[in-house]
Amino acid sequence: MLIAGYSLWSAAVTVLALLVYMYMIINVGVARGKTGIQAPAMTGAPELERAVRVHSNTLEAMPVFLVGLWLATMYFSPAFPVMAWLPAVLALIWCIGRIIYMQAYMAAPEKRSTGYLISALPMVVNLILGVVGMVSAFIAASA
């Protein structure tokens, strides 16, 4: 039951990540409205181009983020129950990092690095935790 609780936290953070992403989609629409640039055009105003890049960059990171989160939740958490909370907390940090990234990129693209690093590190760590958990499960199944 303890692990199921942590799966629920990972599910909740997954929903939060999707809400952050949906906000970025809306941000592109708002930028289109402010600049008057209609789809399918993607260029012509820095505000729109930045909003599109934030949205695209986050979309590019989502598969690694989500797969890492759920591999860590499914394999690391049961193998290391004392640290079962870690995948969800790392995912929450990823969400915070993406928000910081978005705000910095929209204000001045050269200042996006902090938000990128805040989101990249937990994404990679969750992927590593997932692999560690999978190896642990494989070893336990082979014993």
CATH number of the domain where residue 14 is located: 1.20.120.550
- Per the structure, how many domains does the chain have? 1
Mean pLDDT computed over 85-93: 97
pLDDT at 1: 44
Query: Distance of alpha carbon 112 from its chain centroid, rounded?
Result: 15
CA atoms within 13 A on the CB side of 55: 17
Tell me if 88 is assigned to some domain.
yes
Q: Is the pLDDT of residue 8 over 60?
A: yes
62 falls within a domain: yes
The residue among 101 and 2 whose pLDDT is bigger is 101
**Would you say residue 118 lies in a domain?**
yes
Query: Which of the 8 DSSP states describes residue 83?
Result: G
Residue 27 lies in a domain: yes
Tens-place pLDDT, residues 35-58:
999 999 999 999 999 999 999 999
Sorting pLDDT into bands at 50, 70 and 90, what band is 82? very high
Q: Is residue 119 part of a domain?
A: yes
Which residue, among 80, 70, 50, has the nearest Cα to 123 in the 3D structure?
A: 70
The answer to whether position 78 is within a domain reads yes
Q: What percent of the chain has pLDDT over 90?
A: 93
Within a domain: residue 24? Answer: yes
pLDDT of the residue at 3: 54
Q: Does pTM top 0.85 for this prediction?
A: yes
143 domain-assigned: no
User: 């809306």: which residue's tokens?
Assistant: 26
∠28-121-94 over CA atoms, to 5°? 45
Helix (H), strand (E) at residue 25: helix 2-35
Under the banding of pLDDT at 50, 70 and 90, the label for residue 5 is: confident
25: domain range? 2-138
